Structure 1
């Protein structure tokens, strides 16, 4: 049997009260956060309203904040790296894209 973990926000008492919970640490915690990141991106991609989309973006930011210690980085340091990369390579503001065609 393979165990997978769905991380709960620290104050998610309702679900924790009716479902057995575990405390994950170390590698398992990082893997669970990575799974949450992917799930959050999927949730964002199917959001049906601006409000729901923003809620999903907030969740993604919270996950990013939780992952930073695993990379020995603070949010301020991450923001410095983001700004530097944006200066060097630009952002994603003008919608420029390359059209890739795949044989299926």
Structure 2
């Protein structure tokens, strides 16, 4: 009977240790995810949107360039989509720049085109 109680106490202790480790891991994961999604650098998002949906100017809206986004949308409609080559090129430029260079050029420096 005493062995059963000791074994039960050991299991409880191991379960408690495991729960603490799981909480710590979850906390680290949450902090990392928040850092990733709340990042001020929108390089990957803007680059992919520019390549895939650039004719709509969505990447410009994501970066805070409302006027340029509307211009891109109108230009794409007026030229029957030919103007969508501009955001395709912008998307490639966005994705090939370093994170710091992108952030300083397009988010801090507010360079709206290329």
TM-score tier, shorter chain, comes to: under 0.3
Higher radius of gyration, 1 or 2: 2
Name the structure, 1 or 2, with higher relative contact order (CA <8 Å, separation 6+): 2
| TM-score, length-scaled by structure 2 | 0.24
**TM-score with structure 1 length normalisation?**
0.26
Q: Which structure has the highest helix share of the two?
A: 2
